[in-house]
Amino acid sequence: MPIREVSTRAYADQKSGTAGLRKKVAVFQQPHYLENFLQTIFDVDTSLRGKTLIVGGDGRYFNREAIHTAIAMAAANGVARVVVGQGGLLSTPAASHLIRLRNAGGGFLFTASHNPAGPDGDFGIKYNVAGGGQAAEGLTARLYEHSKTIARYRIVEGANIDLDRRCTQRLEEMEVEVIDCVEDYAALMQTLFDFDRMRDWIRKGHSLRFDAMHAVTGPYAQRILVELLGAPAAAVQNACPLEDFGGGHPDPNLIYARHLVDLVHSPASPDLAAASDGDGDRNMILGRGIFISPGDSLAMLAAHLQKLPGYASGLKGVARSMPTCRAVDRVAQALGIECHETPTGWKFFANLLDAGRATLCGEESFGTSSSHTREKDGLWAVLAWINVLAATGLSVGDLAQQHWRRFGRHYFVRHDYESLSAAAAGGVMQALAAAAPGLAGRRYDRWTVSAADDFEYRDPIDGSIAVNQGLRVVFGDAARVVLRISGTGTEGATLRLYLERYESAADALGWEPTAALAPLAAVAEQLARIAELTGRKAPSVIT
């Protein structure tokens, strides 16, 4: 089959956001659009030549076409071997693990994460590098520059790879290995968790409900929870991945997984309910009558992880993104370990994980994971919770109460203002940034501003500096108001307002989060003037 060099014209919008390139499907369907971006990667990151490339996606619409294109281009660009999940499926954490396991040069993960799918939905590419982590800021900047001038790409014409049969095929000089997408990941999980104890926990009658939301975690949950841990088949719902995710929005949060919230508040509540997102890197944890916020989940796992086999030697450190509540900071302090605050985006954890400075990381956007991979990992978090419950004998609710009694409680909420014009969202940011230098010492309601700035991060390992990572108004340990523009939206600009309020143990119990945060929401409006500057009286989504 001939390798063809195809002339193309550059598109000017291939700038990666918080997690890769994310656009409407129709944008990716433009002539040469996908090819241009892939060629950009092959041109800029020459380390893929002669190496293994991991390829997979979350099964959404356009996934198969994209994978066929990627394989045909890999063969034309000197890649030695492509390892691809059967049916084109690989969860993001499983792909990251495979990059590490196979010592691959990198991986293409076709996903727009939790964004809706289908012909009118979103598509995306995460490019992960050797070691399994997402491309760092410096590399994505170089990719963007190159994408503006690209004029040709290379592809093997007429390639015809069977993605559904597990076997090794040849395309020109390159080998294509189609593998079971779950096997290596499931093996890794068994080295981290006490499967005997978890099986026992289930056998004794503890109940589970995991919602795969018709996205990629279905086969993973089926194999691990049902086949390996013995949960009844009904414990995993919506397990079959669909191209449009069944018309749903696989974003495991209080809005899009409302049915799980209702379930845990009903008499039919399982002991643990959970969900994951489109590509399997997010997680949501609930117990009978209780939702565990991602920041709390991170802190609670940090407090108990050492009880699990893979973490028996203790945590080296923890890390959270800046907008994530500071609950884990208190646990780190009690454990006497490092606690890092990074910008939003899992890629910022990679250096800390590689350097052994962090074992556990988490973000408010329903992401939690450990040093076992270089991505956040939805099922890992669910398994960690099952193992912690099995090891402690506590219910989710009791574990949370115990935690808050010891460490105090961080109430947290995120308000999203979606589909704003870039000017409106930028206007809010600029106004608060301009006011920030004069805020220290001012009193709002019961809180006094201790610091207000635009978050800047200096990577402790490579010294790189990331600026403009979100505005934060800090009221000592008692509260924070954070404001930033999302890097993952595909329609207009999304403004995110994060509210965090801390109450020490004595005051904490029995407080309803919405009520606890209402006065802080009023303070945030005074500070950020979102209603006044955007005309939006209320957020589009509250999680």
Q: Which residues are the active-site residues?
A: 113
293-295-297 Cα angle (round to 5): 65
Alpha carbon distance 475, 182 (integer Å) = 45
Among 218, 280, 345, 378, binds ligand G16 (CB under 6 A): 345
Site membership for ligand G16, residue 93 (CB under 6 A): no
Query: What are 405's two structure tokens?
Result: 């009694």
- Backbone φ and ψ for 22, nearest 5 degrees, come out as -135, 125
Among 269, 276, 344, 373, binds ligand G16 (CB under 6 A): 344
Alpha carbon distance 459, 138 (integer Å) = 12
Smallest separation, CB 365 to ligand G16 (Å): 4
Q: What are the b/e assignments for 359-370, b being 16+ CB within 10 Å?
A: bbbbbbbbbbbb
Site membership for ligand G16, residue 18 (CB under 6 A): yes
- Torsion sign across C-alpha atoms 137, 138, 141, 143: negative
For residue 203, the tally of other CB atoms under 10 A from its CB is 11
CB 436 within 8 A of CB 453: yes
Alpha carbon distance 199, 206 (integer Å) = 10
For ligand G16, how many residues bind (rule: CB under 6 A)? 17
Site membership for ligand G16, residue 282 (CB under 6 A): yes
| Mask for 349-378, x = binds ligand G16 (CB under 6 A) | --------------x-x-x-----------
Site membership for ligand G16, residue 487 (CB under 6 A): yes
| Cβ proximity to ligand G16, 270 vs 378, nearer residue | 378
| Mask for 494-513, x = binds ligand G16 (CB under 6 A) | --x-----------------
Smallest separation, CB 364 to ligand G16 (Å): 7
Smallest separation, CB 180 to ligand G16 (Å): 24
Closest CA to 110 of 74, 155, 60: 60
Smallest separation, CB 307 to ligand G16 (Å): 27
| Cβ proximity to ligand G16, 89 vs 449, nearer residue | 89
- Backbone φ and ψ for 280, nearest 5 degrees, come out as 80, 15
Closest CA to 22 of 96, 122, 139, 121: 122
For residue 538, the tally of other CB atoms under 10 A from its CB is 9
Site membership for ligand G16, residue 346 (CB under 6 A): yes
CB 333 within 8 A of CB 53: no
Site membership for ligand G16, residue 40 (CB under 6 A): no
Closest CA to 482 of 471, 469, 468, 491: 471
| Cβ proximity to ligand G16, 113 vs 368, nearer residue | 113
Using CB under 6 A, which of the segments 140-148, 231-239, 299-307, 339-347 binds ligand G16? 339-347
Using CB under 6 A, which of the segments 37-45, 382-390, 480-488, 530-538 binds ligand G16? 480-488
Smallest separation, CB 513 to ligand G16 (Å): 20
- Torsion sign across C-alpha atoms 89, 90, 92, 93: positive
| Cβ proximity to ligand G16, 274 vs 388, nearer residue | 274
Alpha carbon distance 315, 259 (integer Å) = 35
First to last CA, the chain: 51
At 388, the amino acid letter reads V
Using CB under 6 A, which of the segments 195-203, 343-351, 390-398, 443-451 binds ligand G16? 343-351
Using CB under 6 A, which of the segments 195-203, 206-214, 436-444, 484-492 binds ligand G16? 484-492
| Cβ proximity to ligand G16, 321 vs 387, nearer residue | 321
- Torsion sign across C-alpha atoms 280, 238, 267, 199: negative
Closest CA to 357 of 406, 405, 319, 311: 319
Smallest separation, CB 417 to ligand G16 (Å): 12
Alpha-carbon separation of residue 151 from 5, 23, 30, 148, 154 (angstroms):
10, 21, 15, 9, 11
| Cβ proximity to ligand G16, 288 vs 414, nearer residue | 414
| Cβ proximity to ligand G16, 73 vs 384, nearer residue | 384
Site membership for ligand G16, residue 540 (CB under 6 A): no
Site membership for ligand G16, residue 140 (CB under 6 A): no
| Mask for 285-304, x = binds ligand G16 (CB under 6 A) | --------------------
Smallest separation, CB 250 to ligand G16 (Å): 10
Alpha-carbon separation of residue 407 from 327, 372, 388, 444, 504 (angstroms):
8, 27, 18, 25, 7
| Cβ proximity to ligand G16, 106 vs 345, nearer residue | 345
Using CB under 6 A, which of the segments 7-15, 75-83, 264-272, 483-491 binds ligand G16? 483-491
| Mask for 248-277, x = binds ligand G16 (CB under 6 A) | -----------------------------x
234-166-223 Cα angle (round to 5): 20
Smallest separation, CB 338 to ligand G16 (Å): 20
Alpha helices in 117-247 (DSSP H): 137-147, 183-192, 195-203, 217-221
| Cβ proximity to ligand G16, 194 vs 277, nearer residue | 277
Smallest separation, CB 162 to ligand G16 (Å): 29
| Cβ proximity to ligand G16, 58 vs 194, nearer residue | 58
Among 45, 281, 296, 459, binds ligand G16 (CB under 6 A): 281
Residues in touch with ligand G16 (CB under 6 A) = 18-19, 113-114, 277, 281-282, 344-346, 363, 365, 367, 486-488, 496
